[in-house]
Amino acid sequence: MFNQSQLDAVDSTILNNLIGSGVDHVIFMDMAGNTIAKHHHGKSRLDSTAFAALAAGNFAAVDAMAKLVGESEFSLLFHKGEKSSIHFSKVNEDTLLITMFNKDISLGLVRLKVAETVKDINHILDAE
Amino acid sequence: MTLALINVKTREVQIKIVYYGPGRGGKTTNLEYINNKYRDQIKTEMVSLKTQDDRTLFFDFLPFDVGRIKGFDVTIQLYTVPGQVKYNATRRLVLRGVDGIVFVADVRKEQRRKNIESLNQLYENLETYSIDLFKMPLVMQYNKIDLKDSGIEILPTQVLQKDLNSVLRAPAFEASAVSGGNVIPTLKKIITLTLSSIQDQLF
């Protein structure tokens, strides 16, 4: 369970690092499919509840596949679309960070900003 | 023990309830009935990941709001698991973070063994998350009792209670999901049990 100041700090790192860099939508969620924090650039009409449930299932399935081929995990997942793409990153054992972005922003920048955000969130959650 | 997701900032509680049971037992039918009945409270479309022949491949998902409790907006997230034996790996994935379970048993006589096997596997699957089925909010639903009227041989409720519920002693309902019989009482019961099990966490 996260306290108010942790949730504030998580919001702030997501807004600064990711939304501030021009990504469309960010969801920080647990592996059960519950949304912990969500942010977007203001014109999103995404059904984030259903999205989080599917994202948790997707990540869990890929994680189980990793174990079958002898990997401890595939900590990063990326789905590329024509207009928008989705980047999945494991934050810790229980949580995931999902970033949706359009073709105006490069995958390299997203990966860099996601890595910084994941580091920040872990720092916030550890400082309990 | 897993905990429901309680967000102190947005004042939201998200509760995950999973409908579990043998294949073709009526888990998806339960959710479809709820989806039709409570259309107004459900903001999104039901999500179903199905095979080509309409069987659940991964899960069905249906979120709906139950209003405010102690100042928190409560959302119930209903999931089903795929019932077919070969999909146990995905069943286990869906159980992650579960807060309450409805076990949907099939009352047809020929399904007796499958019900028991499915319940045993539920117990084992929960163990992999260090969850004890005996401490989990649970409701039993004996589904398809309407088949009795079509002359199909069904198991008497006492037999089902003895097979599945003699030790667990969970609340049990005879149901007919296809016509909605006892679908809503089952749902209300599991919501009440789950909410009371997490109530201590709300303050």
Structural domains of chain A, ranges and CATH numbers in brackets: 4-126 (3.30.450.30)
List CB contacts (< 8 A) between B89 and chain A. 64
Would strands B138-143 and B100-106 be described as parallel, antiparallel, or unpaired?
A: parallel
* pLDDT number for residue B202: 67
What pLDDT, on a 0 to 100 scale, did the predictor assign at position B4? 67
Taking residues A60-74, report their average pLDDT. Answer: 88
Q: Are B106 and B8 in contact (CB under 8 A)?
A: no
What would the mean pLDDT of B56-63 be, rounded to a whole number? Answer: 90
Give the one of A8, A50, A53 whose C-beta lies nearest to B9's C-beta: A8
- Do B96 and A31 make contact, defined as CB atoms within 8 angstroms? yes
Average pLDDT over residues B119-125: 97
Q: Tell me if A4 and B8 make a contact (CB, 8 A cut-off).
A: yes
Q: What is the pLDDT of residue B3?
A: 58
User: Is A36 close to B5, i.e. CB distance below 8 A?
Assistant: yes
Convert the pLDDT of each residue in B41-56 to its tens digit. Answer: 787 888 998 888 888 8
Mean pLDDT along residues B20-33 = 96
A7 touches chain B (CB under 8 A): yes
What structural domains and CATH numbers belong to chain B?
5-202 (3.40.50.300)
Residue contact B58–A2, C-beta within 8 A: no
d(CA B96, CA A56): 10
Give the model confidence (pLDDT) of A93-128 as tens digits: 899 999 999 999 999 999 999 999 999 999 999 986
Other beta carbons within 10 Å of A43 = 6
Q: What percent of chain A has pLDDT over 70?
A: 99
Q: Which of B197, B101, B98 is nearest to B140 (CA)?
A: B101
Q: What is the DSSP letter of B95?
A: T
**What are the chain B neighbours of A50 within 8 Å (beta carbons)?**
44-45, 47, 61, 63
